[in-house]
Amino acid sequence: MATIKKIFLKNVNKIVPMTSENTLTSMGSIISNGIINAAGRNASISLTTRDGNVRMNAVTGMVLFLQHWYWYPMLNFVTLALTPTSLIAVNKDLKVPKSFESKLNAKPSLFKYPDFLKKEEDTKKGKVETAVLSTTAKVKARVERKKGTKGDVEMADSQSATPSKAAADDKEKSAAADDKEKSATDKADGAAEEEKKEDDKGEEEKKDEPEPDFGMCKNPCRMLKQQEQKMEYLMDPKYKYFPVLKDRFSGFVVLKEVEGGGDGEPEKFYDDEERDLDAPNPDLVSDLDIPKPFEFDPAIQSGF
Clarify whether residues 260 and 219 are in a common domain.
Answer: yes
DSSP string across 84-130: E-EEEEE-TTS--BSS-EEEESS-GGGGPPPPPP-PPPP---SPPPP
Tell me if 51 sits within 8 A of 231, measured CB to CB: no
- Report yes or no on 235 lying in a domain: yes
Clarify whether residues 241 and 274 are in a common domain.
Answer: yes
- Report yes or no on 116 lying in a domain: no
Clarify whether residues 205 and 239 are in a common domain.
Answer: no
- Report yes or no on 186 lying in a domain: yes
CA nearest to 116, candidates 3, 33, 45, 196 = 33
Clarify whether residues 49 and 190 are in a common domain.
Answer: no
| Final residue in a domain of this structure, among 176, 195, 212 | 212
Which residue type is seen at 156?
A: A
Clarify whether residues 17 and 74 are in a common domain.
Answer: yes
Q: For position 146, what pLDDT does the model report?
A: 74
Clarify whether residues 197 and 253 are in a common domain.
Answer: no
- Report yes or no on 54 lying in a domain: yes
- Report yes or no on 181 lying in a domain: yes
DSSP letter assigned to residue 186: H
How many Å apart are CA 7 and CA 199, to the nearest integer? 24
Q: What range defines the domain where residue 187 resides?
A: 165-212
Q: For position 129, what pLDDT does the model report?
A: 55
Tell me if 95 sits within 8 A of 219, measured CB to CB: no
- Report yes or no on 153 lying in a domain: no
Residue-level pLDDT, tens digit, the chain, 304 residues: 557 777 777 777 778 777 787 888 888 888 888 888 888 888 889 898 877 889 999 999 999 999 988 888 899 999 999 988 889 999 888 888 888 889 898 888 888 887 776 666 544 544 555 555 667 777 777 777 777 655 555 555 555 544 555 555 566 666 666 666 666 666 666 666 666 666 666 666 556 678 888 888 888 888 888 888 889 898 877 888 889 888 888 888 999 888 877 777 788 887 666 655 565 555 655 656 767 777 777 776 555 4
Assign 9 to helix, strand or coil: helix
Q: For position 2, what pLDDT does the model report?
A: 58
- Report yes or no on 292 lying in a domain: no
- Report yes or no on 223 lying in a domain: yes
Domain total for the chain? 3
